[in-house]
Amino acid sequence: MTEVMSKISIEKISQSKITEVDFNNIVFGKQFSDHMFVADYKDGKWSDFKILPFGKIEVSPACAALHYGQAVFEGMKAYKNEQNEVLLFRPLDNAKRLNISAKRLCMPEIPEDIFMEGLTQLIKLDSEWVPKTEGSSLYIRPYMFASEQLLGVRPADEYKFIIFTAPVNSYYAEPVNVKIETSYSRATEGGVGYAKAAGNYAAALYPAKLGQDAGYQQLIWTDSVNHEYIEESGTMNVMFHIGDKLITPNLDFKTTLAGITRNSVLTLAKDLGITVEERRVSVTEVINAAKEGVLKDVFGTGTAATIAQVASITFKDDKYVLPKIEERELSNKLAKMLQEIKHEKIEDKYSWIHKI
Ligand SMILES: *Cc1c(COP(=O)(O)O)cnc(C)c1O
């Protein structure tokens, strides 16, 4: 750790932009914190660790990521507790997952200590940017891309790893109307569905737009072979509360991303005495449960919204409306527990919190 730390050069911004931010009305994705962390991969190793004022970076027009898509990312958040200390939620899991994604895209791994030290130094320097208000947080975007000028198709030899951050207000997700997608696919077996690859998002935009134009805020993705089994909802994992069980697609087919929120929710649900099943979930099972009145809840899980409840599910021409939000005891409870753990209001029995 200390060795990495001593290697990070820090160039501070001359004047902080924080006075320009109204923390009660943050414009999502338009306001960024003062600094960013940058590391370069060259000659087979990571070096040149630096913290700089947030700003433009120069890349060649022949930058490999722009043509062949070697680009992976992460998404995580920093919170504050009552004492104004800055807290991260399971950050090492993001570091590990970034490397799983990098490996699949034939990119170099970033050593966990560099990821953690760059992140820690950056958040320390910009700790004023972590909102204090309940529910608000500092969104953190670590990512890596092939920066080499390259035309031939091969894994690049040069990469950049960057972390920048942006304050975000509490994200209240209006329950969404979703459609079960039966033409397009997000992922295929043998593909890159389990990686947080930039291209997965690009490929999902068009079907998502068609869905939105038809009145559905999200798509429920199904398997690419027969569109018979459910995989994810939009860019979130998806869970079904059927009878007294919480059921979610398993990860064995590598078409579903291993969400950190997913894992946390399943852990907490088990603690509450709920039977949790990770297995294939067929469209038929969900629709039959809805018809029989035992589909109590459907919700997405992910860092951005934590838990996003689904208002209705449409399959082919039939729309199934889910129970009122107040009746969704389990997901309401899980959302509250996670929120309280993230702000150190209740016991963190799994040591998920990492204090900066
Ligand atoms: C990031 C992501 C998730 C959620 O992961 P978290 O670690 O919970 O934020 C789920 N599905 C996809 C496709 C994702 O990219």
Assess whether 161 and 192 both reside in one domain.
no
Q: Categorise residue 273: left if φ over 0, alpha if ψ from -120 to 50, beta otherwise.
A: left
The verdict on residue 349 lying in a domain is: no
**Is residue 356 in a domain?**
no
Looking at the structure, do residues 73 and 94 belong to the same domain, yes or no?
yes
Residue 109 · residue 103 · CB < 8 Å: yes
Identify whether residues 139 and 180 lie together within a single domain.
no
The answer, yes or no, to whether any atom of ligand 1 lies below 6 A from the CB of 232, is: yes
**What integer pLDDT is reported at residue 182 of this predicted model?**
97
Beta-ladder partners of 218: 178
Q: How many domains is the chain partitioned into structurally?
A: 2
Ligand 1 centroid, distance to 43 Cα (angstroms) = 32
CA distances from 51 to 39, 40, 123, 143 (A): 9, 12, 11, 15
Does residue 258 sit in the same domain as residue 111? no
Q: Is residue 347 part of a domain?
A: no
Verify that 155 and 180 share a domain, yes or no: no
Whether 48 is covered by a domain: the verdict is yes
Ligand 1 atom closest to the Cα of residue 200 is 13
Q: Give, for all 356 residues of the chain, the pLDDT tens digit.
A: 456 656 899 999 999 999 999 888 888 888 999 999 999 999 999 999 999 999 999 999 999 999 999 999 999 999 999 999 999 999 999 999 999 999 999 999 999 999 999 999 999 999 999 998 877 999 999 999 999 999 999 999 999 999 999 999 876 678 999 999 999 999 999 999 999 999 999 999 999 999 999 999 999 999 999 999 999 999 999 999 999 999 999 999 999 999 999 999 999 999 999 999 999 999 999 999 999 999 999 999 999 989 999 999 999 999 999 999 999 999 999 999 999 999 999 999 999 999 99
d(CA 218, CA 208): 7
For 123, the token pair is 């958040």
**Nearest alpha-carbon partner for 67 in 145, 157, 142:** 145
User: What is the domain range of residue 199?
Assistant: 176-342
Question: CA 209 to CA 206: how far, in whole Å?
Answer: 5
Q: Is residue 134 a part of any domain in this protein?
A: yes
145 bridge partner residues: 71, 160
Residue 207 lies in a domain: yes
In a domain, 78, yes or no: yes
Q: Say which CATH number the domain at 36 has.
A: 3.30.470.10
Query: Do 85 and 146 fall into the same domain?
Result: yes
Which atom of ligand 1 is nearest to 263's Cα?
8
Task: State which of 113, 144, 169 marks the end of a domain.
Answer: 169
CATH number for the domain spanning 256: value is 3.20.10.10
Q: Does 186 lie in the same domain as 313?
A: yes
pTM, to two decimals: 0.96
Q: Is the shortest distance between the CB of 208 and ligand 1 below 6 Å?
A: no
CB atoms within 10 A of CB 310: 25
Domain shared by 141 and 288, yes or no = no
115, 137, 169 — which closes off a domain? 169
Q: Among 169, 186, 211, where does a domain finish? A: 169
Maximum separation of any 2 CA atoms in the chain, in Å? 63
Whether 137 and 282 map to the same domain: the answer is: no
Q: Whose CA is nearest to atom 5 of ligand 1?
A: 259
Let me know whether 208 and 296 are in one domain.
Answer: yes
Q: Are residues 158 and 218 in the same domain?
A: no
252, 296: one domain: yes
User: Does ligand 1 lie within 6 Å of residue 98's CB atom?
Assistant: no
Measured in Å, residue 285 CA sits from the centre of ligand 1 at 24
> Strands, DSSP E only, in the chain?
9-10, 35-42, 45-53, 71-73, 76-80, 86-89, 137-146, 159-168, 176-180, 218-222, 230-233, 237-242, 245-248, 275-278, 295-302, 306-315, 318-321, 353-355
